[in-house]
């Protein structure tokens, strides 16, 4: 079986799962759960085969399929793997079975519909990562909105309608701007070359005046910055996380937020290199504001879901910092940080869901002394907390350290040349590490070592510790966190070629002949 065929199976297996769910009786939710878990495990195994086969030394796309779709518009069904997406596709497939297993007992209403939405969003997320045609990318990008909207709106909390509307308005606004910019890009390519093409490789050759690049970067950038999210476009995230079911929060934090940073890396910055260079100081400032402000907001929260939600804003600020450094080590650190945050945030949200199923409260003040009440749960929670803080040997350390190293490596020559802003940004970003330790250790101290208490816990009915299913889920995540932290060399080899290509694209001016503005 060719790698191209395997990649198509990975992409379309969730859609086959949706069709298979139609055959499952509504009176048998257990069968729906089992079917979904089996399909997700198969998808992960197929993705693992692609990961092993991926040749880091080979240039260009691998496992590529390109077929005419809307020939008159120059639209093709083109998918493939490269150093930009291989780790993120692997992350998406890895989290799939854990998401299903984590929702095993939490979802009791409309079970078939729920898992159909899980399948649909898995299809859209993988499709967004592997799409190599802008039209196809946009279709998958928009498709992601539908299942997440329904997940929050149907299975969410008391304020789910408010959260879904806010989520929809923010993301739809950004998407409309990106669509307009996308159409203009294709039209510009047609004007200059006479060719109508949505292929990303073709559009990367377009030469645009600086003012046009600036406008289009703003359109793409707003869409991606909303998805990251970067301050001040972040306010939809806490509401979405708080009201979403645990599965929705895990998918949102684990994969969906990476769509924004991936969009900047794959499209936003390489498509408009001159505008990116011009506005790098502003983007650096917004990145470090997201790091520090997100950490400060997490520090004062009492809702345990909001603590993790705001921490995501801070952690993904390091990804932007690494991408903007234009240093190979920083770019690779950004990719590692994307994967690391996906693992750690997914684990923390799963653990919040596990304690919520038992106690039905998300208020930090309602808990204390869980280390005595449920010690196995507490051990896993402390490990993931330390990974979030960036403890050496964990993936959190590897990603943040490399991103910061890239930022300092880039900033020092600029400081010597009289430009102090990049160095100020890099130094300020380090404070995010300190603040991260403060809010996560405050969280753990109260949660695990305060006076022993938990809603619905009593001597007659003690709080139940983790069961076998929950231990297995968390053990798999913890192994992955340490594996990425201790052995980052292999994943970094997979991304090195893409990091070099990204750096070359962003650093090479692409103004029209004569440098027209």
What are the tens digits of pLDDT across the range 18-52? 999 999 998 889 999 999 999 999 999 999 999 99
- Angle CA(145)–CA(181)–CA(169) in degrees, nearest 5? 30
Instruction: Name which of 79, 184, 55 is nearest 128 in CA terms.
Output: 79
The pTM of the full predicted model, rounded to 2 decimals, is 0.93
* Dihedral angle, C-alpha 296, 301, 306, 311, nearest 10 °: 30
Dist. CA 367–CA 373, nearest whole Å: 11
Q: What is the dihedral of CA 493, 126, 393, 470, to 10 degrees?
A: -150
Helices 111-130, 86-102: axis angle to 10 degrees equals 170
The rounded distance, in Å, linking the Cα atoms of 268 and 379 is 41
As beta bridge partners, residue 81 has: 62
Cα 327 to Cα 493: distance, rounded to the nearest angstrom: 15
Could you list the pLDDT tens digit for every one of the 517 residues in the chain?
799 999 999 999 999 999 999 999 988 899 999 999 999 999 999 999 999 999 988 888 999 999 999 988 889 999 999 988 999 999 999 999 999 999 898 888 889 999 999 999 999 999 999 999 999 999 999 999 899 999 998 998 888 899 889 988 888 888 899 999 999 999 988 888 778 889 999 898 888 899 999 999 999 999 999 999 898 888 898 888 888 898 889 999 899 999 999 999 999 999 999 999 999 999 999 999 999 999 999 999 999 999 999 999 999 999 999 999 999 999 999 999 999 999 999 999 999 999 999 898 889 989 988 999 999 999 999 999 999 999 999 999 999 999 999 999 999 998 888 888 989 999 999 999 999 999 999 999 999 998 888 888 877 788 899 999 999 999 999 999 999 999 999 999 999 999 999 999 999 998 887 554 4
């Amino acid at each position: 079986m060719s790698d191209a065929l395997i990649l198509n199976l990975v992409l379309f297996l969730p859609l086959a799962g949706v069709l298979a769910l139609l055959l499952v009786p509504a009176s048998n939710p257990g069968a729906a759960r089992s079917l979904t878990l089996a399909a997700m495990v198969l998808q992960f195994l197929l993705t693992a085969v692609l990961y092993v086969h991926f040749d880091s030394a080979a240039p260009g796309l691998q496992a590529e399929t390109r077929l005419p779709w809307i020939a008159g518009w120059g639209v093709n069904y083109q998918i493939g793997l490269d150093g930009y997406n291989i780790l993120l596709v692997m992350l998406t497939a890895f989290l799939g079975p854990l998401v299903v297993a984590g929702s095993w007992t939490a979802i009791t209403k409309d079970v078939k519909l729920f898992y159909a939405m899980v399948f649909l969003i898995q299809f859209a997320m993988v499709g967004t990562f592997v799409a190599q045609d802008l039209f196809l990318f946009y279709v998958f990008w928009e498709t992601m909105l539908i299942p997440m909207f329904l997940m929050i709106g149907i299975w969410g909390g008391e304020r789910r309608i408010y959260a879904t509307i806010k989520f929809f308005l923010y993301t739809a606004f950004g998407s409309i701007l990106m669509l307009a910019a996308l159409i203009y890009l294709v039209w510009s390519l047609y004007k200059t070359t006479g060719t109508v093409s949505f292929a990303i490789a073709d559009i990367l050759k377009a030469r645009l005046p600086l003012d046009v690049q600036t406008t289009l970067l703003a359109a793409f950038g707003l869409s991606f910055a909303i998805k990251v999210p970067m301050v001040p476009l972040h306010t939809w995230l806490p509401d979405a996380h708080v009201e979403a079911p645990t599965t929705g929060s895990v998918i949102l934090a684990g994969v969906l937020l990476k769509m924004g940073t991936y969009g900047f890396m794959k499209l936003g910055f390489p498509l408009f290199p001159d505008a990116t260079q011009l506005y790098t100081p502003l983007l650096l400032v917004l990145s470090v504001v997201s790091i520090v402000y997100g950490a400060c907001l997490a520090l004062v929260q009492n809702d345990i879901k909001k603590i993790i939600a705001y921490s995501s804003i801070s952690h993904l600020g390091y990804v932007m910092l690494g991408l903007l450094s234009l240093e190979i080590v920083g770019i690779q650190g950004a990719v590692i940080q994307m994967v690391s945050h996906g693992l750690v945030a997914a684990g923390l949200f799963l653990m919040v869901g596990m304690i919520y199923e038992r106690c039905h409260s998300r208020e930090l003040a309602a808990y204390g002394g869980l280390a005595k009440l449920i010690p196995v749960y507490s051990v896993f929670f402390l490990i993931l907390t330390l990974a979030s803080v960036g403890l050496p040997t964990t993936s959190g350390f590897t990603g943040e350290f490399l991103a910061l190293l890239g930022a300092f490596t880039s900033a020092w020559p600029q400081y010597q040349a009289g430009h102090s802003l990049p160095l100020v940004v890099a130094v300020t970003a380090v404070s995010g590490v300190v603040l991260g330790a403060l809010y996560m250790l405050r969280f753990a101290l109260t949660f695990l070592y305060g006076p022993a208490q938990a809603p619905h816990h009593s001597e007659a009915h003690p709080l139940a510790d983790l069961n076998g299913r929950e231990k297995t889920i968390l053990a798999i995540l913890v192994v992955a966190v340490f594996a990425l932290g201790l052995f980052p060399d292999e994943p970094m080899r997979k991304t090195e070629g893409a990091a070099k290509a990204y750096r070359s694209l962003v650093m090479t001016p692409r103004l029209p002949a004569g440098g027209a503005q």
